[in-house]
Amino acid sequence: MDKVDYQIIKALMENGRMTWAELASNIDLSSPAVKERVLKLSEAGVIKEFGVIVDHEKVGTECTAFVLVTLEKPTYRHSFLQLVNNLEEVQECHHIAGEDDYLLKIRCRNTKELDRVISFEIKGLEGIVKTKTTIVMNTEKETVKIPIQHDYFGKKD
């Protein structure tokens, strides 16, 4: 990756709907050259996916919670991760250091639905020792933009 890839990634994080021509004019390359670079970044897994950010409250998904999960032993990891990947309500799953094993970000309609997901889906799985839930009262900042390290670009892979 080089400095042009850096510019492309930064621009797409600001506006993922920009046309090839708009992106090309920001980067000072041709549209076909920009398109080729974006496709290469996608194939390499640098750009994971393109999507739409939806205001969850405006579509009836008003409850957000963070749930710490502790597994009895590592042998339960596969079935837990399979469940998590199949649960639409689980937005994020992070393997973490410390007393607990995983941190989940869950979004659902309300606390009744949250109870169903935690009590019946997650705790219903064999090997779950405990969960600890924190319900979000209000979100002040949420973004899909990440800080990318400018000095990383230009290095050989």
114 has a pLDDT exceeding 90: yes
pLDDT at 144: 87
pLDDT at 156: 55
What residue spans define the domains of the chain? 3-51, 56-135
pLDDT at 63: 97
Query: For 57-100, what is each residue's pLDDT tens digit?
Result: 999 999 999 999 999 999 999 999 999 999 999 999 999 999 99
CATH number given to 56-135: 3.30.70.920
42 has a pLDDT exceeding 80: yes
Same fold, 3-51 and 56-135: no
21 has a pLDDT exceeding 70: yes
What average pLDDT does the chain have?
Answer: 93
Give mean pLDDT, residues 38-55. 92
CB contact set of 11 (below 8 Å; sequence gap of 6+): 18, 23, 26, 27
3-51 is a CATH 1.10.10.10 domain = yes
Cβ pair 79, 147 in contact under 8 A: no
Q: How confident is the model at residue 155 (pLDDT cuts 50, 70, 90)?
A: low
- Cα(118)–Cα(82) distance, rounded to whole angstroms? 15
